[in-house]
Chain A
Amino acid sequence: MEKPIGSVPAFSGVTYLRPDHRGSPFQIPVHATATPHESDSATEATYRSIVEHAIEGIFQTTPDGQYLLANPALAHIYGYESTDELKGNVQEIARQLYVDAGRRPEFIRLMSENDSVWGFESQIYRKDGTVIWISENVRVIRGDDGAVLYYEGTVEDITARKRAEYELRRAKESAEEASRSKSQFLANMSHELRTPLNAIIGYSELMREEAEDLALKSFIRDLGKIESAGKHLLALINGVLDIAKIEAGKMDLHAETFEVAKMIEEVSATVAPVVEKNGNYFEIAAAPNLGTMHTDLTKVRQSLFNLLGNAGKFTKEGQVRLEVERLTDSGRDWLVFHVRDTGVGMTPEQTQKVFEAFTQADASTTRKFGGTGLGLAITREFSRLIGGDVTVKSALGQGSVFTLRVPAILASGETVESEAPSDSLGAPPETAEFVAGQPQVLLIDDDPTVHDLVRRFLQKEGIQVIGAHNGPEGLELARKIRPAMIVLDVMMPTMDGWSVLTRLKGDPELSEIPVVMLTMVNNREMGFSLGVDDYMLKPIDRSDFVATLRKYCNRQDKPTVLVVEDDVVTREMLRASLEKEEFVVVEAGNGVEALEKLATLRPALILLDLMMPEMDGFQFTREVREHADWRDIPILVMTAKDIAAEDRALLDGQVSRILQKGACAREELLSEISHRVARCARPLETVAI
């Protein structure tokens, strides 16, 4: 069909067809028609060489989806040995290549609008059935009458990039999730720690007072030590709680108007004994006309306490001076507070780290000066929350100057709305996107981070989460949607979890819905006596939580398919296809994961890949068939692997059917699944294995 031209010998890979003027393709040796002049054959040879050796796939296709031209790179990208093989096998691009049947029509639509597309990204089946991502740049070639003759363009395999993007997104999401869990854990822990500490501090104070009455001198001293250690621990916990709240974005601001001079007077009076304890001279230099501020008073006051307290602590028989002035900068009024001391000072390295949590100037500092190591970190966070900042200048042995700058008026954007005090201000119920066929779990919890976590945990499991942020809203939603189960927090404003539970169990229409408590209040007896089905403690343990919810979410109308496949892209593609057919999809990345899933749910069918890490499809099949409860679950094997006779023997009688990836079109796969699921739904006709 083709012969080498000029010095370019290797043409075997390129098949070149051209449409005639009526647009119907027929095959012509390129060298005869591509250029009108024989003398141009060298130029043509150059072009052909470029096509032949290009790294990108190059093609021409007819509007109805046949190849006119394909270069070796394209065949290679699509997994074919040669361009002939590609063209011989792919007669209909729309159906055979594109994973999403809507892609080619979309492509044609874009071409008819713009005459070209750039960076058109799609998923494509390779010859062996694996799925890759490609990006196409294509333009249209029209005849004199404007009719489309053919499309021509390039194809780039972008699977690696897509994968990297996916991994990056995953990594980012899991990092964010970890950070949120950490903050939630800290907040919960701090709360739990405060309660017993309340008793320790309280009783030691009480006993010290009683010991004073009885003049038990040695007891007084020791009880005082317990009390002060308890208070130090409390300060630490409060600091940790503050940091956790700031990191979790839950620190609220309450702006109020106050006189700066009066606030300074109060702060100074409170902090003076601490500053003067080391024999320091405490001096205040306030400019006249400081005026008023409208901001969060407690944050400003706390920041000043911390700065002045620190100055006093690190200065001995020296001077601590507070200077205050009001100035205008960038159109805003600012209050600037300088806290100067003549204390130990810091090296430049220490200065850099001084605002980080738990890093006092050095480890020995804590032993020598005490403190939590959190004060300056909190001061900086507080000052930033109210739109300001805190900076430091210091030299070793020459004291330090901390400067706090705060806008006189808190910008409205910086005001964080406080948590809703009543129902009317609560977040709107999230009833917008019900997904048909998925079991629904109603989560009643006032903490939005819990909503976020639970939603993430359950999304993958094919369980839909409907959120309510307080008791009354939860009760209303429960009546409206009749969820498969309810997850309930205890400590909520307006109406606590116990009251919600009492009402749920007292309503004949709702009393059958399983309720699981999810709370940091450890009071199982109370829960079970009021009729809860399970009791879980925060922080949430993901696997426990999912397993528990699985138990109560069997009330599904739609059959579940367990997809066991290590390739994320294929798994997602299968999920999309199956969900469209109204299956509930549960995913597992390998055999081990799949066995874990089976422990908590019973799918109507298992869709199984053979080649997987950790535990492959062969071993997984053996495990499933050895288990009495799972023996009759139909398994469909889909594999890119050419099944060897001995492999086939391994699976023979163990699985319902083996489907070749790629060879098996999507419709065929789906109809096979529907067929198997329908069969196993009829009890007398369970699938013969």
Chain B
Amino acid sequence: MKKLLLVEDNEMNRDMLSRRLERRGYEVLIAVDGEQGIAAAKEHRPDLILMDMSLPVLDGWESTRRLKQEPDTQGIPVLALTAHAMAGERDKALAAGCNDYDTKPVDFVRLLGKIESLLPS
């Protein structure tokens, strides 16, 4: 079973997305801010990280940058999720080291496609 780490501060989005991913056969780990996310990534080594960008304590961009600097975690693909469909968001996420990007509200089928293509086979 593939292990996903979902870093998301909004409780409803976290609950909804984790339940939907579990229905599709993924194991889903949860973190609620950037620092927790980094700690969880180091401890559990997930196969992929779904990272919200507007996070408290440490935002998604900075968290991703740190994950990509650590030898332990830099190999884990990071899929950025953000509610801002604002201009430049995609570039900002990719510049921080994210492997791909998707906007919220999520188009679940599209998100699954992106997850599948990023997961190591």
Q: Are A195 and B10 in contact (CB under 8 A)?
A: yes
Q: Does B86 contact A (CB under 8 A)?
A: yes
Q: Are B104 and A419 in contact (CB under 8 A)?
A: no
Bound-complex Cα distance A237 to B83 (A): 12
A251-B87, A421-B96 known; 8 new pairs, CB 8 Å cut-off, are A196-B12, A206-B16, A234-B105, A418-B87, A419-B92, A495-B59, A495-B62, A521-B54
Q: Are A493 and B20 in contact (CB under 8 A)?
A: no
B114 to chain A, nearest CB (A): 16
Most buried by B among A241, A493, A526: A493
Q: Does B39 contact A (CB under 8 A)?
A: no
Q: Does A199 contact B (CB under 8 A)?
A: yes
Q: Does A245 contact B (CB under 8 A)?
A: yes
Bound-complex Cα distance A400 to B64 (A): 49
A522 to chain B, nearest CB (A): 12
Q: Are A498 and B56 in contact (CB under 8 A)?
A: yes
Contact with A along B14-56 (1 / 0, CB 8 A): 0011011001000000000000000000000000000000111
A17 to chain B, nearest CB (A): 71
Inside 8 A of A205's CB, which chain B residues have their CB?
20, 108
Inside 8 A of B56's CB, which chain A residues have their CB?
496, 498, 523, 526
Known: A202-B105, A206-B16, A495-B59. A241 touches B23 (CB 8 A): no
Contact with B along A509-523 (1 / 0, CB 8 A): 000000000000101
Q: Are A194 and B105 in contact (CB under 8 A)?
A: yes
B101 to chain A, nearest CB (A): 13
Bound-complex Cα distance A191 to B84 (A): 6
Q: Are B62 and A197 in contact (CB under 8 A)?
A: no
Known: A199-B16, A494-B61. A419 touches B88 (CB 8 A): yes
Inside 8 A of A421's CB, which chain B residues have their CB?
88, 91-92, 95-96
- List 16 contacting pairs A-B, 8 Å CB cutoff, sorted by A: A187-B86, A194-B105, A199-B12, A199-B13, A202-B108, A205-B108, A251-B87, A252-B87, A252-B88, A419-B86, A419-B91, A421-B92, A495-B62, A496-B58, A499-B57, A521-B54
Q: Are A499 and B58 in contact (CB under 8 A)?
A: yes
Bound-complex Cα distance A241 to B85 (A): 9
Inside 8 A of A251's CB, which chain B residues have their CB?
87
Q: Are B20 and A202 in contact (CB under 8 A)?
A: yes
Q: Are B16 and A245 in contact (CB under 8 A)?
A: no
Known: A234-B105, A419-B88, A493-B92. A498 touches B61 (CB 8 A): no
Bound-complex Cα distance A203 to B20 (A): 9
**A493 contact from B10, B61, B106, Cβ within 8 A:** B61
> Which B residues fall within an 8 A CB radius of A?
10, 12-13, 16-17, 19-20, 23, 54-59, 61-62, 83-88, 91-92, 95-96, 104-106, 108
B10 to chain A, nearest CB (A): 7
Bound-complex Cα distance A202 to B20 (A): 9
Contact with B along A247-276 (1 / 0, CB 8 A): 000111010000000000000000000000
Bound-complex Cα distance A225 to B55 (A): 32
**Closest chain B residue, CB of each to CB of A491:** B54
Q: Does A422 contact B (CB under 8 A)?
A: yes
Bound-complex Cα distance A198 to B95 (A): 25
Inside 8 A of A494's CB, which chain B residues have their CB?
61-62
Bound-complex Cα distance A523 to B88 (A): 25
Chain A interface helix/strand/loop/mixed: helix
Inside 8 A of A199's CB, which chain B residues have their CB?
12-13, 16
Bound-complex Cα distance A523 to B108 (A): 28
Bound-complex Cα distance A566 to B55 (A): 49
Interface bracket on A:
35 or more
Q: Are B85 and A203 in contact (CB under 8 A)?
A: no
Inside 8 A of A195's CB, which chain B residues have their CB?
10, 13, 83, 104
Bound-complex Cα distance A195 to B16 (A): 13
Q: Are A418 and B88 in contact (CB under 8 A)?
A: yes
Bound-complex Cα distance A493 to B54 (A): 9
**Closest chain A residue, CB of each to CB of B95:** A421
Q: Are A191 and B88 in contact (CB under 8 A)?
A: no
Bound-complex Cα distance A234 to B57 (A): 29
Inside 8 A of A209's CB, which chain B residues have their CB?
20, 23
**Closest chain B residue, CB of each to CB of A447:** B86
Which residues 415-431 of A sit at the B interface, judged by CB distance below 8 A?
418-419, 421-422
Bound-complex Cα distance A492 to B24 (A): 34
**Closest chain B residue, CB of each to CB of A250:** B87
Q: Are B87 and A499 in contact (CB under 8 A)?
A: no
Q: Does A58 contact B (CB under 8 A)?
A: no
Inside 8 A of A191's CB, which chain B residues have their CB?
83-84, 86
**Closest chain B residue, CB of each to CB of A421:** B95
Contact with B along A494-509 (1 / 0, CB 8 A): 1110110000000000
Bound-complex Cα distance A262 to B23 (A): 35
**A496 contact from B16, B54, B83, B104, Cβ within 8 A:** B54
Known: A199-B12, A206-B16, A209-B23. A194 touches B104 (CB 8 A): yes
Inside 8 A of A548's CB, which chain B residues have their CB?
none
Most buried by A among B56, B59, B106, B108: B59
Bound-complex Cα distance A320 to B59 (A): 47
Known: A491-B54, A494-B62, A498-B57. A198 touches B87 (CB 8 A): no
Q: Are A206 and B19 in contact (CB under 8 A)?
A: yes
Inside 8 A of B55's CB, which chain A residues have their CB?
496
Q: Does A293 contact B (CB under 8 A)?
A: no
Inside 8 A of A422's CB, which chain B residues have their CB?
95
B103 to chain A, nearest CB (A): 9
A618 to chain B, nearest CB (A): 53
Q: Does A238 contact B (CB under 8 A)?
A: yes
Q: Are B88 and A201 in contact (CB under 8 A)?
A: no
Bound-complex Cα distance A194 to B10 (A): 13
Which 6 residue pairs across A and B have the least CB separation, nearest first? A419-B88, A198-B105, A421-B95, A252-B87, A496-B59, A418-B88
**Closest chain A residue, CB of each to CB of B108:** A205
Bound-complex Cα distance A495 to B63 (A): 10
Inside 8 A of B83's CB, which chain A residues have their CB?
191, 194-195, 198
Bound-complex Cα distance A201 to B13 (A): 11
Known: A238-B85, A494-B62. A198 touches B54 (CB 8 A): no
Inside 8 A of B104's CB, which chain A residues have their CB?
194-195, 198
Q: Are A202 and B85 in contact (CB under 8 A)?
A: no
**Closest chain B residue, CB of each to CB of A493:** B92
Q: Are B105 and A206 in contact (CB under 8 A)?
A: no
Inside 8 A of B23's CB, which chain A residues have their CB?
206, 209-210
Bound-complex Cα distance A494 to B59 (A): 8
**Closest chain A residue, CB of each to CB of B12:** A199
B75 to chain A, nearest CB (A): 23
Bound-complex Cα distance A418 to B87 (A): 7
Inside 8 A of A254's CB, which chain B residues have their CB?
91
Known: A496-B54, A499-B62. A245 touches B106 (CB 8 A): no
